[in-house]
Amino acid sequence: AQSVTQLDSQVPVFEEAPVELRCNYSSSVSVYLFWYVQYPNQGLQLLLKYLSGSTLVKGINGFEAEFNKSQTSFHLRKPSVHISDTAEYFCAVNAGNMLTFGGGTRLMVKP
């Protein structure tokens, strides 16, 4: 079985500041990792994914994440956030035929 923990339920940050959203996972098998973003009253949009290869993954909207196998982490980062980045962010693992999601982190970008 696998599980995902997003340590911060809310992250407030000022516009143009850097941000890191934390994600830790546990699994007994190899995993494939994803970050999704959900804007209010919408479905989930894929930000980026780690399947294999380079541990630093770049995604859409200037986001990137680093896979750290020894720390079982897949933290999401952005060097400078915009107001439009305000949304809910979900980390997910795929170790079988379905995705297991974390509880989400609400990123609140303030002007």
Partner 1 sequence: DTGVSQDPRHKITKRGQNVTFRCDPISEHNRLYWYRQTLGQGPEFLTYFQNEAQLEKSRLLSDRFSAERPKGSFSTLEIQRTEQGDSAMYLCASSPFNGDRLQETQYFGPGTRLLVL
Binding site for partner 1 (CB under 8 A): 4, 32, 34, 36, 41-46, 49, 51-52, 90, 92, 94, 97-104
Minimum separation from the CB atom of position 92 to partner 1 (A): 8
Shortest Å, Cβ 96 to partner 1 = 8
Please identify, using beta-carbon distances, which residue of 46 and 56 lies nearer to partner 1.
46
In angstroms, rounded to a whole number, what is the distance separating the alpha carbons of residues 77 and 68?
A: 14
Question: Residue 97 carries which DSSP code?
Answer: S
Strands 64-68 and 19-21: unpaired
